[in-house]
Structure 1
């Protein structure tokens, strides 16, 4: 399945074999993963600049958060501003009478060159789907 998170034990093994100098082809065949999946997790590991010891000390849920929500591409400053706005917006939306449109009006008044209403709603919908599982894990 495309973009399905890989088992954390397999990710640990990918990193272990990579740090031992094994080839990506060997790793993909040994762990029954596609080469692109192996490349993806190696690239994410290298972009995070974590030592193997730090990686070993992380729990599976911490690793999943790191590898599931980390992107290798750069996020634009405009998008970073929007993503920083969403947590406060989510708290405000729990109040009576506050709507997503009201929050967009507040956002656009603070960021005149920001996203228009339809893109704002689209990105919030994606953000809320991505963040909700992590938030539930942290609250348990």
Structure 2
């Protein structure tokens, strides 16, 4: 569960101490009573929003909150990454000396903003939708023993 945000009064105090007093982040953290990481987080949010001290006239707490904590973009507006052609990938993997890494590198060469290697492999496995088949073989001890190796001459007899 995420922690509660600081009150706007305390956030303004962090901004004031950093810009007006020029205190380092540790001193601000001790003064406000929060951790160094929290102070760093709020100051980096303020820098990315272009805020400095004193705050602009007429800025309300709601305006400050919207600047520091912008609403996330809806998923529909996020850029779509191209999805590979899984049937082509499956067909190519059957060829000799073709690896997933090689196919992923080809995919990234065509689509530089494409997905990463881990996503590529996991999604391919999900698309394939099956567990790797294995054939269970039951071996009884001493039933099948062959002591002939490729180095043994072909004229030797089997005991």
TM-score range, shorter chain: 0.3 to 0.5
**TM-score normalized with structure 2 length:** 0.42
Larger Rg: 2
- Structure of higher RCO (CA pairs closer than 8 Å, 6+ residues apart): 1
